[in-house]
Structure 1
Amino acid sequence: MLPTSRDAEHPATEPVAATGTLIGYARVSTKAQLLDRQMHALTEAGCVRIFADKKSGKNAEREELWKALDYLRPGDILVVPSMDRLGRSIQDLIALVSGLRQREVGFTSLHESLDTTTPGGRLVFHVFAALAEFIRELIVQGTHEGLDAARARGVRLGRPAAMTPEQIRHARDLLTRPENTVVSIAKLLGVSRNTVYKYVPELKDGRPALAAATAPALPHPAEPCP
């Protein structure tokens, strides 16, 4: 079971008793890339079994990683060539390693010489977790400040309008001609039929209502001279 966000923000502090097996995990981003170097490093580190994915780190469906996590038992150590092979982001990495520690499974990254079964490794990992939370709070704060400043300048936030005022006027003009259907007008303007109905609400009451709404007002007849 994956840890919650609260668990990821506060990794377990108790040491893991590394008494089991070294299990390796390797990953390359594309099928054209080779796993040889990573597999060799993991074998040299003493891994007795290695799982490997050929998928981008942005892809959440890493089948071999989930198999590796399911294979691990308390006391085992998950070994990776480098931290970026395991996590899609620093938050993802922290969540995965925190989940391992809750299961009493250790974690080692060969390139960074990070080993969570040692006091120094646990300290470094806590620093990573604290930095990730600090950066996340800065991003949230900056986003809110940017939105507030935009609102103060009168910037319209949210999704842009599907039809411009010019398109709406053009649609109204076309709709006054009986030979033009709503579907054909929508295709001409590059929008959906529902969008035309949304921006020309008079259509819901029929073409006559639209014609009456768009017809220019007639001038009052001149008063006869006395």
Structure 2
Amino acid sequence: MIGDWFKHPQFNSHRAEAKWLQPLVETFYTVSTASVDDLWQTVTNLADMSWHPLIASTNVPKGLIPKPGLIYKAFTRLLPIFPVRIFVERVLPRQLLTVRILALPGVEERVTYRVESTLCGTQVSYSVTLRGWLSPLVWSLTRRHAARVAIELAQAAEDAEQQTSVAHRPARRDNCRDLFAAIALTVGIGTVLTSTSTIQSIVL
């Protein structure tokens, strides 16, 4: 009995330690009405991350396409004074973007954005993998923000798509309006000329 009493705490401590060292992995999903191209353009536009709940801005120049090996700095919304380094690990055009966030020595964070066309729309997923002894603390501070990333990404792509369609719509409306005005003017002139001819005939 005594031997068993001593063995059990040691076994449980190893299990607790192994569980503590296990990576934390969680994925958030949403479905968007935006196309795969619009979603991919939004997620790869590293110069404009204003939609992101965690990242406020980056030092990436406008128009730069992310490629594996690219390292850039980003300012987070939680600690806007201290920038973090982000390393682009993997890029599959129109499918997947994986980056590694190098923020603190005691934690390693890997993030994956994925877009996929489905029958119900375009599925957007945001996966987070955390390793290190500081990962529970970091996750407790960032989880509620990370849960909104996929939704905010989809909304930003939908807004951009709507603005693009609206920008092209007035030109078509103006053309139709001009065509209608020309027809109305032509019909009006024809009516006036007909009325004038009738009056002249009556007078004569």
TM-score calculated relative to the size of structure 1: 0.25
Which has the higher relative contact order, 1 or 2, with Cα contacts under 8 A spaced 6 or more apart? 2
Give the strand-richer structure, 1 or 2: 2
TM-score calculated relative to the size of structure 2: 0.27
